[in-house]
Copies of this chain bind each other. A is one copy, B any other.
Amino acid sequence: MSESVHDYMIRLGRAARDASRQLARVDTAQKNRALEAIAAALDASRAALIAANERDVANAQANGLQAAMVDRLALTAARIDDMIEGLRQVAKLPDPIGEIRDMRHLPSGIQVGKMRVPLGVVGIIYESRPNVTIDAASLCLKSGNATILRGGSEAIHSNQAIAHCVALGLAEAGLPAAAVQVVETTDREAVGALIGMPEFVDVIVPRGGKGLIERISRDAKVPVIKHLDGVCHVYIDKAADVEKAVRVADNAKTQRYSPCNAMETLLVHRAIASDVLPALATIYLEKGVELRGCPATCELLGQNVIAASEGDWFAEYNAPILAIRMVASLDEAIAHINHYGSHHTDAIVTEHFSDARRFLAEVDSSSVMVNASTRFADGFEYGLGAEIGISTDKLHARGPVGLEGLTSEKYVVFGNGHVRT
């Protein structure tokens, strides 16, 4: 007699669509009240959250999950603080919804512009981090979208405990319960249903490893905001300031190795290679970074570098390994980045104004930088206040996605009984 997973998901979808209609007429103050009330509910439920999380962590350990995954799963007091703080930060962000721009009178007499509106219903599919539940719910709520959240099965108790706090906050602010729904089943069929109902879901944001995202993108009947590879470059131009070049190339690689915006390949103009590469090699080797170079780099740096293969230029190491290639010109650098890169984030270090302009225009990446570390490619660093992810798509949202990426614009037309002739 029990409901099938598919029917359950359809029910969530229909409820989300209905809730999205109600959210379309909710004002900023009410959305902010809900965010604050969810924060208060989390704060008041710390013991319950930690108890629920302990069950998940114990199960994960019993099932032999990797230590790194167990770490991502754990809800410490500090992580609960971060969730609460995150909610309050999102409450403080300007509300993008309802913004009207470019209202212009046209020769026919009508006035036309664009109004920013929610997308409608956002489906989030993520892995073991329970804090994503709050990050995603808060951004979707602030941008007027209903959300369906499908977290990893290993975090099910944590996510249900968080969902309980969200429900309390929504109720306190008078918002529909279906504004934020956390999927209660760990059945994998739920994912297939969620990405297969375009009548109820407007966009899917998968957050997790590349395998998850590729699978979802391939199977989804709903548009997906994707984040695939981060093969990021720093190009040290011949007109680079040496000190800035060393600082940026060091930071882009070594500040943290695993993020998608860390540099994977360093390109250096031949004319400046002997001024920057030996100093950089010393830094990298001291920090334990393995260097893989083109023939000219191997010749310059000697035994400190091993020969790179063709595959190295395409590699996203997410590890203390760096590919280094010398180039003869800006053109060669741009061609390398557009061919081998992943169109994520690429930087030039130069003091040459026109080369900088060319790099910005011609490198086909979601973030292009001059004299700054690729590690800045991040919603917080860009001043978005928060991010739901980094998009490697070109359509709709590109690069770090904040509230605006969760919205759409519609045309508004004002007349006074105007008709077309």
* Contact segment of A126-134, A152-160, A354-362: A354-362
List A379-395 residues whose CB lies under 8 Å from chain B.
Answer: 381-383, 393-395
**B106 and A420 within 8 A (CB):** no
Q: Roughly how many angstroms separate A12 CA and B413 CA in the complex, as a whole number?
A: 41
Q: How many whole Å from A15's CB to the nearest CB in chain B?
A: 15
Interface pair A372/B413, CB less than 8 Å apart: yes
Stretch from A109-117, A187-195, A274-282 at the B interface: A109-117
* Partner among B203, B370, B377, B421 whose Cβ is within 8 Å of the Cβ of A414: B370
Given A104-B383, A375-B419, A413-B361 contact (CB < 8 Å): no
Instruction: Answer whether residue A369 sits at the interface, using C-beta atoms and an 8 A cutoff.
Output: yes
Task: Known contacts A366-B410, A367-B413; decide if A373 and B419 are in contact (CB<8 Å).
Answer: yes
A343 to chain B, nearest CB (A): 9
Assuming the contacts A119-B394, A417-B248, A419-B248, asked whether A412 and B382 have C-beta atoms less than 8 A apart, the reply is no
**Smallest distance from the beta carbon of A356 to chain B beta carbons, Å?**
9
A112, B414: Cα distance in complex, Å: 35
Give Cα A24–Cα B417 distance, bound, in whole angstroms: 44
**Distance between Cα atoms of A391 and B334 in the complex (Å):** 33
Q: How far is the CA of A366 from the CA of B408 in the complex (A)?
A: 9
Using CB atoms, name the residue of chain B closest to A246. B417
Q: Chain B CB within 10 Å — which of A241, A395, A398 has the most?
A: A395
* Cβ contact within 8 Å between A419 and B251: yes
Kindly list chain B residues whose C-beta atoms are within 8 Å of the C-beta of A361: 24-25, 98, 115, 117
Q: Chain A residues in contact with chain B, CB under 8 A?
A: 21, 24-25, 98, 104, 106, 108, 110, 112, 115, 117, 119-120, 202-203, 223, 241, 243-244, 247-248, 250-252, 255, 335, 338, 347, 349, 358, 360-362, 364-373, 375-377, 381-383, 393-396, 398-400, 408-421
